[in-house]
Amino acid sequence: MKKRTRNTVLFLFILLTPQLVSAASASSSGQSPELGHLMVRLVFQLALLILATRVMGIIFSRYLKMPKVLGELAAGMIIGPYALGRFVLPLLGEPLFSLPATAIPVSPELYGFAIVASIILLFMSGLETDLPTFLRFSGVGSVVGIGGVVLSFIFGNLSAVIFLGSVDSFFSPTALFLGTLSTATSVGITARILSEKKKMSSPEGVTILAGAVLDDVLGIILLAVVVGIARVEASGGAVAWDRIGLIAAKAFGFWLACTVLGIILAPKISRTLKWFRSPDAMAGVALGLAMLLAGLSEMAGLAMIVGAYIMGLSLSRTDMAHELHRRLRGVYQFLVPLFFGVMGMMVNFGAMRGVLLFGLIYSAAAIMGKLLGCGVPALFMGFNVRGSFRIGAGMLPRGEVTLIIAGIGLSSGAISQDIFGVAIMTLLIASIIAPPLLVSSFSGGSGLRKEKKEKREEEAVQIELKFPSIQIAEFLASRVRQAFRDEEFFVHHLDTEQPIYQIRKENIAITLRRQEANLLLSTNKENETVMRLILLEEILELKELLNGVQKMKSPDSMGTDLLSGLFGESKDQGKKDT
């Protein structure tokens, strides 16, 4: 009983400590009590959101056999301001997730965490993308992206004109906003699924990412045009097409220039990062550069996620890409579920009641626009039906860009709260349908109509070393890995189940693999000398080590000495005890 009371007191003390500390710090530093209260509230919000997304993610992935992202979205919907989050908590005296007086139904502080998480998500997605494959399929991705934007815009606009009585023109601000809303693609959700399925660098994966990034760019440009038209109609003036065209050209030019410059300057950025000599410092500075480019992208009229993806894609070909990804993995695992949880919290179930039927029609139109607009062009660009369906399904999810467009439309008066609810409903339906479709579509074979065999410019060179036991082979493998690290190579474990390592430094790439008691090292002809020299040095050192062991006492005599010492000590201890 005393133990239970003590635990209860300890629990209450832990629960109330943040409030006491914030109040004390506020009074001692002259800080307003409201700020301390906001910080405590934010900490509780993050705590509940972290726990809910983790638990629901595990339930969906482990027991329902569905992607974690759906569980994280569901967690946000359950605890959000439109569901359980609206109830008053006795501890705070107010709802934990109360509705703020803004178009975004979460607090600015929590939304800030979601934005940072989206930047990290797209930066990591860029690091995982294979740049040569991305460039190879960038033309296909551009065609896919443009096809998805055009057909989705037409379907979204037509559905508003036909099924909404308040819209009587294709150029009505509401129709234009609904057309623009249907074009946006959430590359974040798709990237998360591709990463879990290890299909990020597949032909379909890079095509989806290239098309999704272009979708976001074109969607933001369309948004600039539509906002300009809506403001002119609201004021009764004439549309300044030259100014709107300038905004669109600036956004598109920024995206194209940053992509080209990022790929060209990637080696110099890599050398600058190596100046820090600490992998953790390199990862922190690289993430800072991604956030810097994300902010510049927002200032240029694009979404922040576009700049983050460009920075990740630029560094993906460098020798430190895997090391950066490994160092930032913990930050990714912590923050990214928060992003999807916040996306789920924005679902307003009440606003969807009056426009439920239109929301279903509009969602179906938006989904068909992506499936046909992206899938059909892919069918004529070298993909088979399976691959085309994968690309169409990968372009279905809606997310952050949809919310940005819907929020701007709501704040500018171009759309009402019920149409905003339609946007959320479309986001929800498309994001729930897309992951199972995408996961199931990748269970088949190749998505290409005809596999193209790449011609290798340089013949691969392979060295195989055989050892009498697995222990000796693993010992030498560990020494070889450390030797390459001493020469400032980056060593990355490619597979958690198999002992396969990629060793990289600038343009040198070596693969180290252990198969039972054999070591296999492979590289191209140009780097063969470097590989052989380091390997020869380690073998010579191993030989010296073995010679030194042979000069020692025989194992039998050493064992006898150890045993006699052990038993002798025991006998002496027994005599002392007696």
Output the DSSP codes for 15-36.
Answer: HHHHHHHHHHHHHHHT--HHHH
**Upper half-sphere CA count for residue 499 (Cβ side, 13 Å):** 17
Outline which parts of the chain fall under CATH 3.30.160.110.
460-554
Q: How much of the chain, in percent, has pLDDT values that exceed 90?
A: 6
Q: Is the pLDDT of residue 464 over 70?
A: yes
Q: Is the pLDDT of residue 504 over 60?
A: yes
pLDDT at site 16: 41
Please tell me the chain's helix, strand, coil percentages from 3-state DSSP, rounded to the nearest 5: 70, 5, 20
Cβ-proximal residues to 106 (8 Å cutoff; 6+ apart), any chain: 80, 81, 97, 100, 114, 342, 345, 346
Q: Is 230 helix (H, G, I), strand (E, B) or coil?
A: helix
Q: What is the pLDDT of residues 537-573, one digit of tens each?
A: 877 877 777 777 666 656 666 666 666 665 555 455 5
pLDDT at site 285: 92
What average pLDDT does the segment 209-235 reach?
A: 71
Q: Which CATH fold topology does 116-441 show? A: Na+/H+ antiporter like fold (1.20.1530)
pLDDT level of residue 56 (50, 70, 90 thresholds)? very high
**Crossing angle, helix 68-79 and helix 417-441, to 10 degrees?**
160
What average pLDDT does the segment 485-501 reach?
A: 71
pLDDT level of residue 385 (50, 70, 90 thresholds)? confident
Question: What is the CA 355 to chain-centroid distance, rounded?
Answer: 33
pLDDT at site 286: 92
Q: Is the pLDDT of residue 276 over 80?
A: yes
Outline which parts of the chain fall under CATH 1.20.1530.20.
116-441
Higher-confidence residue of 303 and 118: namely 118
Output the DSSP codes for 514-543.
Answer: EETTEEEEEEEGGGHHHHHHHHHHHHHHHH
Would the pTM of this model clear 0.75, i.e. be above it?
A: no
* Kind plus residue range of the DSSP H or E element containing 308: helix 304-315
pLDDT at site 155: 92
Q: Which one-letter amino acid corresponds to residue 350? A: G
> Cα separation of 359 and 160, whole Å?
10
> Cα separation of 314 and 551, whole Å?
54
Q: Is the pLDDT of residue 289 over 90?
A: yes
> Cα separation of 397 and 380, whole Å?
23
pLDDT level of residue 237 (50, 70, 90 thresholds)? low
Q: Is the pLDDT of residue 98 over 70?
A: yes
What CATH number belongs to 460-554? 3.30.160.110
> Cα separation of 576 and 79, whole Å?
68
> Cα separation of 514 and 54, whole Å?
36
> Cα separation of 128 and 199, whole Å?
10
pLDDT at site 290: 92
Q: Is the pLDDT of residue 529 over 60?
A: yes
What average pLDDT does the segment 181-208 reach?
A: 75
